[in-house]
Structure 1
């Protein structure tokens, strides 16, 4: 039987993604500006179905744990995020593929999501490292990652080919278990 994961506070709930979330995701994902720096673009319900099915297959394989982000206020889906590149042997993984509908950009939602996920990774799963990476041109994402207290590690040059064929360099950040107590204190101060 699958463990029920509850990650929530008074601002946001993260719950495991389900196939039944396709319509709810599509309702908030059909904004082109969301997908500028992402490896996929969602333009249709079929795109969402493929995204959800792929996420659930990777969950079955044990390499990802996909969540939908739900507003505690409206009880509606407002985005998605994943724990990915999971290595149980090395006690590490990545918070990634996070996107939010534009109406909640520059709100407390993303910081709350990262707080809940990092707490889960370090305090429940016992991870030693959580990495977060982003496109070198995605300055908004880099600022958000730095704001939560993640450590800049460097740039993976020519790391990925974008969907338009251009080259992406990937900016790498991480939080380690040694750093978590200070990062947690910093996050709590941001959220208060």
Structure 2
């Protein structure tokens, strides 16, 4: 996948690189961010190791990590990725998203998902984009449902998280045939809620 930079009204999604390690680490300090995550970032070394992993997976063509830049402050406020990329099957996952608590419940995450979905369906011509989240993570489950993704099921005892919790994972998806409705819903949500 070629280099991608996506820009909305409030945010810019920029390809993640080693130059972003320190700033990403500075916004990763809230331990609640990692409650439902397979890993956690608590030291600068953890952030370097995470970036190493992202770059290896990017080179293999299965992950495309972004940093989320808040245009209002010109600061990095989190990260998100295209995951499990399979362009031959015209599908991928959006995930690995984490945000500085100061921008949670703002237009940042909604606009982020809108930009990633729009590029996926309209530029990459994908058939399917999926999302996965811990079955116990009520905020994430509600946010995914709110954008119009369809619940497909739960993978039981899917993974063991960094804190020892055995996670059941909910899977949601949006199909290309559903994109127009989802796009209109997201556009309306961005225009009305965040005027």
TM-score interval, normalised by the smaller of the two chains: over 0.9
Corresponding residue for 1:60?
59
Moved more, 4-13 or 79-88: 4-13
Q: How many angstroms apart in 1 are the aligned matches of 2:178 and 2:160?
A: 32
Q: Which runs of 5+ in 2 are unaligned?
A: none
CA shift at 1:165, angstroms?
Answer: 2.6
Partner of 1:75: 74
Aligned match of 1:155: 154
Whether 2:88 is the aligned partner of 1:89: answer: yes
What residue number does 2:13 align with?
Answer: 14
Q: Distance in 1 between matches of 2:34 and 2:45?
A: 16
Q: Deviations for 1:95-148, whole angstroms, at most 9, x for unmatched residues? A: 011000111111111000000000011111111000001001100000111111
* CA deviation after TM superposition for structure 1 residue 158, in Å: 1.3
TM-superposed deviation, 1:172: 0.7
Mapping of 1:28-177 within 5 angstroms? 28-177=27-176
TM-score (ref. length: structure 2): 0.95
Matches of 2:166 and 2:33 in 1, distance apart? 19
Corresponding residue number in structure 2 for 1:185: 184
> How many angstroms apart in 2 are the aligned matches of 1:57 and 1:167?
26
Cα distance in 1 for residues equivalent to 2:87 and 2:18: 25
Q: Deviations over 1:65-98 (max 9, x none)?
A: 0000010101110000000101111110000110
Rounded to whole Å, the distance in 1 between the matches of 2:67 and 2:33 is 15
Q: Deviations over 1:135-164 (max 9, x none)?
A: 011000001111111111111111112223
What CA RMSD, in Å, does the superposition of the two structures yield over aligned residues?
A: 1.0
Is the 2:153–2:172 Cα contact (8 Å) retained in structure 1?
yes
Find the counterpart in structure 2 of residue 25 from structure 1.
24
Kept in 1, the 8 Å contact 2:38–2:159? The answer is no
The alpha carbon displacement at 1:4 in A equals: 3.6
